[in-house]
Structure 1
Amino acid sequence: MTRYPALAALLLGVVAACGFAPLELWWLAVVAIAAWMALVHAAPTLRQALWRGYAFGVGHFTINDNWFQHAFTFQDKMPHALGYLAPFALALYLAVFPAVAAGLAWRLRRGGAPDVSWALLFGACWIVTEWIRSWLFTGYAWDPLAVMWVPVQPVAWLATLAGTYALSGLTVVLAGLLLCVPRRAVPLGGVALGAAGLLVAQWLSYRTTPAVLPDTPRVVVVQPNVPQDQRGESDQAMMLARLTRLSGRPGATPRLILWPEGVIRDFIEDDYPYWVYGDTSPALTRARMTAVLGPRDMLMTGGTALRFDSRGDVTDATNAVFVLDPARRIRARYDKAHLVPYGEYLPMPWLLKPLGLARLVPGDLDFAPGPGPRTLAVPGFGAIGVQLCYEIIFSGEVVERANRPRLLFNPSNDAWFGAWGPPQHLAQARLRAIEEGLPVVRATPNGISAVIAADGALLGTVAHHVGGAIDVPLPPAHRATLFAMMGNWAALLVGLTLVAGAVALRARRR
């Protein structure tokens, strides 16, 4: 097919990255994946197939995770020059997963040209490897293939049935079917048109626009526009003044005011040792924060909590979300469970600290993980789920199943994600909304903040590097989707169905 198949696979991986935000050239990505699958099929040996899969992954993840470079510019203990190597170094690991998928698919191919059964098997292999990527070594679930369909909502709707990893596998199947078109153009075209018609019809029936009642509570999302390099230097009183000004004034309708992660640095819980607070008083800080609240309003905000041993020494901290009421009381707290390696804690500190390396986020304490997805009872607003920043990217792990919320709050700090990170993070939050049938609200220091409907539609946004607020009625949740009830077992079922379909097609030809 080409004199340099590994180089071709590398370039096709680069092109496939264009299917994701902010470019969103999904059609180009599908064509690139199809061409890469043809290279894998044509490999003369298993080793060549693995190498072509690995080269594709290196190109794909280096470009898609280019935002990772910006994280190194905010921590003087980490050499800034490492940032330019970081996306490539990360890609060297992540490329293992498409390599394994390619190797498995090559083993399952038959002689001749790629056929429908092989496309089905390749899709099943992709489901397995992408799912493993989401949890192995704490997991890195950023930008699975399914995310590129978020702008094409009738396709993204399929995630309500089987979730992200299944939709990624079906994307690979679609790309593989393109390789079969010359021989099967008529039947495949008829099936594709019929499936597209059914898909659009189902999506239209899923989309709902309920009437907004006069007493519907409102959601106010605040974005103060604070760059990452100014968060540690900004005066906290000035920060609170900006947050409270953007939060608006109380009215007759109850408001759920949502502030982002990473902007409240003062400790707001009582009963810490006096030396922790310095010149600040937690009661005074809470009073300033809740000054924006009317009698039926509530505030949810990111913050930091400390934990102590029996001697009163600080052991660690948690990245937290607090719920405050108009009486200045903390009504609930959520502790982030899925922490970011190298961001919120340093893996293998016994090895890396002597080398002079540190976390990308400044601070002396590593964060400790919380217990997992939790639904908080917010007076006047009901059950609110919380997923802090990075946690929202993990399909099937964002909701406390026994206590389904009416809304997911996703405070985040995207200020260190560069230009590509925030739109990619937003796209993944939109896919979680679609999967779970729940509205998702994102609040960030400097963008992109958004209120996302339960069908993934954007009800309001504040753009990157802009200060502002969103004030909309509290969006309704849909009934629990099939995926919400089954979780990632649904993806396993789709994978087994693809394998069964491939076996049936091959048996029929025999």
Structure 2
Amino acid sequence: MERLAARVILLWGVRRVLLAVAAGAIGALAMPPVGFIAALFISFTLLTWLMDGSAVSPGAGIFSRAKAFFSIGWWFGFGYFVAGLWWLGNALMVEADDFAWALPLAIFGLPAFLAIYYGLATAVAGLLWSDGFGRIAALAASFGLAEWLRGFLFTGFPWNAIGYGVMPIPLMMQSDAVIGLFGVSALAVFVLSAPALLGTRKGAAQGLMLAGALSAAHFSYGAYRMSQAAPPARDAAALSVRLVQPVIDQARKMDDSDRASVFEEHLALSALPPQPGAKRPDVIVWPETSVPFILTQNRDALTRIGEVLQDGQILIAGVVRAEESAPGKLPLYYNSIYVIDSQGQIIAASDKVHLTPFGEYLPFEDFWNRFGIGNIVNMPGGFTSGNRRTLLTLPSGAIFYPLICYEAIFPFEIGADVTRATAILNITNDAWFGDTPGPYQHFLQARLRAVETGVPVIRDANNGISAFIDAYGQIVRGLDYNQKGVIDSPLGGNAVSTWSNYSRETYFWLIIIALSVIAVISRIGFKIKLN
């Protein structure tokens, strides 16, 4: 280990940059669908040694130190995000004639921007760098802060936060309920970087003991909380929900001549009889933008829905909602959810609040329009965001907390009113991304929202992955990617939890403070030794 560490520390020039990129790319293997957690240990061990080699002479100024550390973190982040997010380019190929030119921006441009967060993390950590285990505490605190910032700056994009890589199964997800995604990310970086101490020996005993204690606590709390999980609901009175996964190709959804048949495919799946002995579904769910036209402008379509639904059944469908704006201006369009009863009447609705930049709306639209650049989603004027999130109350009294597609990746955007909900409803259309890692990564993030809130998640996707997820992140029933069909399941109950967004954020800051104190004390001791 020491010989390997020395070789990495002494690397210079292009080989140093290439190893940083490779270290980041290796770390992305921990994310779905691969889920190779050991990759993150390799990744952060190499990053720690590379940072050891980035240290400049003790007399160098703050700017010089920060620049050296920022560079290695940026290249590391660039490799991580290219390897983990390359699939975003697939969305541009749905309408390749219009957007193929932007493929390099999606594959390399976005990672180059996101890598700035990791560059800033290593720059801050570098200012507190020492030769003991305090340096991995500095790295952990700064990465935790970077992931937290990535969650909300510039509308936020916390996709593939480091914490997701150490929470692939329910046993390993439960810490998220206490300290949240960003708290898990910070402590994970400490544990993942700990093997680097074996290569330099200084502070190895203390660092490895603390990393071992954190790992033991992570697994122990997971086992304890999982022991509280109730078996799947079998109550005959429980609300029965059907998820429709139609697997409609994105090109078909955008073809005017095919929209009627797409609509009928959804209806045909909705009308399938339940399995022998199973209860008729009370609620049927269709995925995001499943209705391929403006439903309120097509009364015949609402009549067809009423004909297919049996008395008392409810349809919850992803739709595009149109609303008249000022005279002479284009209507406002919303990415929405409708609740429709067996009479074909719309009885509740909710709009998407957090839109996807460049997909559903253009930031600085006037600027981009000068160059002929528009949204990926072909909607005149783009989508308009809803003013607030409206909970969906069904005639049965059940309450669904709606998250449309991308909204499920933001932990802190789920309000305290989620505790009133029977379930979180996440509808999405991941067909834009094809059979790539994207849908699998998105699914993992939706599962973690169940763990954090203690509320089951109903997730319905056009082509997968659709599933009923209990309050502990366990998959009760599901459909694999590109598996056309329906699944019926009774809804289970909520988890017993005393945690909230406020408590998770409080614990996150306590973790950052504790790690920072360790890093500062270690840095002070290091400077005393140098003098």
State the TM-score, normalizing by the size of structure 2: 0.87
Q: Does the 8 A contact of 2:240 with 2:280 survive in 1?
A: yes
Label 1:61 to 1:125 Cα distance change in 2 as closer, same or farther (>3 A): same
The equivalent position to 2:488 in structure 1, one of 452, 471, 480, is 471
For 1:390-405, list aligned pairs within 5 A.
390-401=406-417, 404-405=420-421
Structure 1 unaligned runs (5+)? Answer: 270-276
Instruction: Measure, in 1, the Cα distance between the counterparts of 2:498 and 2:525.
Output: 35
Q: Deviation of residue 309 (structure 1)?
A: 2.7
Instruction: Measure, in 2, the Cα distance between the counterparts of 1:33 and 1:193.
Output: 16
Label 1:302 to 1:176 Cα distance change in 2 as closer, same or farther (>3 A): same
Q: Deviation of residue 413 (structure 1)?
A: 1.0
Corresponding letter in the other structure for 2:308: V
DSSP-derived class of the 1:25 partner: coil
Deviates more, 1:296-305 or 1:498-507: 498-507
Label 1:79 to 1:312 Cα distance change in 2 as closer, same or farther (>3 A): closer
DSSP-derived class of the 1:319 partner: strand
Q: Does the 8 A contact of 2:26 with 2:42 survive in 1?
A: no
Label 1:369 to 1:192 Cα distance change in 2 as closer, same or farther (>3 A): closer
State the TM-score, normalizing by the size of structure 1: 0.90
Label 1:362 to 1:74 Cα distance change in 2 as closer, same or farther (>3 A): farther
**Equivalent in the alignment of 2:84:** 64
Label 1:218 to 1:355 Cα distance change in 2 as closer, same or farther (>3 A): same
Label 1:334 to 1:193 Cα distance change in 2 as closer, same or farther (>3 A): closer
DSSP-derived class of the 1:175 partner: helix
The equivalent position to 1:140 in structure 2, one of 154, 157, 168, is 157
The equivalent position to 1:268 in structure 2, one of 262, 270, 295, is 295
Q: Deviation of residue 167 (structure 1)?
A: 0.7
Q: Deviation of residue 25 (structure 1)?
A: 0.7
Instruction: Measure, in 1, the Cα distance between the counterparts of 2:209 and 2:398.
Output: 51
Instruction: Measure, in 2, the Cα distance between the counterparts of 1:254 and 1:381.
Output: 16
Instruction: Measure, in 2, the Cα distance between the counterparts of 1:463 and 1:190.
Output: 36
Instruction: Measure, in 2, the Cα distance between the counterparts of 1:397 and 1:90.
Output: 23
Label 1:442 to 1:190 Cα distance change in 2 as closer, same or farther (>3 A): closer
Label 1:162 to 1:57 Cα distance change in 2 as closer, same or farther (>3 A): same
**Equivalent in the alignment of 1:257:** 284
Structure 2 unaligned runs (5+)? Answer: 1-8, 57-64
Deviations 1:319-344 (A, max 9, x none): 10011111222111111011111111
Q: Does the 8 A contact of 1:219 with 1:256 survive in 2?
A: yes
**Equivalent in the alignment of 2:321:** 305
- Please provide the CA RMSD for this pair: 2.5
Q: Deviation of residue 200 (structure 1)?
A: 4.5
For 1:43-442, list aligned pairs within 5 A.
43=54, 44=56, 45-75=65-95, 78-110=98-130, 112=131, 114-115=132-133, 117-181=134-198, 182=201, 183-184=204-205, 187=209, 191=213, 194-195=216-217, 198-209=220-231, 211-233=233-255, 235-247=258-270, 248-249=272-273, 253=280, 255-269=282-296, 277=297, 281-282=298-299, 284-311=300-327, 313-401=329-417, 404-418=420-434, 419-442=436-459
Q: Deviation of residue 96 (structure 1)?
A: 0.4
Bigger fraction of residues in helix: 2
Q: Deviation of residue 190 (structure 1)?
A: 6.3
Corresponding letter in the other structure for 2:293: D
Q: Deviation of residue 118 (structure 1)?
A: 2.5
Corresponding letter in the other structure for 1:54: W
Instruction: Measure, in 1, the Cα distance between the counterparts of 2:392 and 2:419.
Output: 9
DSSP-derived class of the 1:380 partner: coil
**Equivalent in the alignment of 2:16:** 5
Instruction: Measure, in 2, the Cα distance between the counterparts of 1:193 and 1:307.
Output: 52
Aligned pair 1:32/2:43, yes or no?
yes
Deviates more, 1:148-157 or 1:223-232: 148-157
Instruction: Measure, in 2, the Cα distance between the counterparts of 1:69 and 1:449.
Output: 23
Label 1:506 to 1:93 Cα distance change in 2 as closer, same or farther (>3 A): closer
Corresponding letter in the other structure for 1:17: A
Q: Deviation of residue 423 (structure 1)?
A: 0.4
- What percentage of aligned pairs have identical amino acids? 27
Label 1:480 to 1:317 Cα distance change in 2 as closer, same or farther (>3 A): farther
DSSP-derived class of the 1:478 partner: coil
**Equivalent in the alignment of 2:61:** none
Instruction: Measure, in 1, the Cα distance between the counterparts of 2:235 and 2:429.
Output: 33
The equivalent position to 2:53 in structure 1, one of 35, 42, 61, is 42
**Equivalent in the alignment of 1:16:** 27
Corresponding letter in the other structure for 1:438: V
Q: Deviation of residue 160 (structure 1)?
A: 0.4
Q: Deviation of residue 84 (structure 1)?
A: 4.0
Label 1:489 to 1:504 Cα distance change in 2 as closer, same or farther (>3 A): same
Instruction: Measure, in 1, the Cα distance between the counterparts of 2:456 and 2:107.
Output: 32
Deviations 1:187-223 (A, max 9, x none): 4586367536633432433433255212211111001
Instruction: Measure, in 2, the Cα distance between the counterparts of 1:470 and 1:93.
Output: 40
Instruction: Measure, in 2, the Cα distance between the counterparts of 1:453 and 1:369.
Output: 29
Q: Deviation of residue 119 (structure 1)?
A: 2.1
Q: Does the 8 A contact of 2:173 with 2:222 survive in 1?
A: no
Label 1:200 to 1:165 Cα distance change in 2 as closer, same or farther (>3 A): closer
Instruction: Measure, in 1, the Cα distance between the counterparts of 2:188 and 2:212.
Output: 18
Q: Does the 8 A contact of 1:216 with 1:253 survive in 2?
A: no
Deviations 1:37-84 (A, max 9, x none): 221233123322110000001111011111111111123563314214
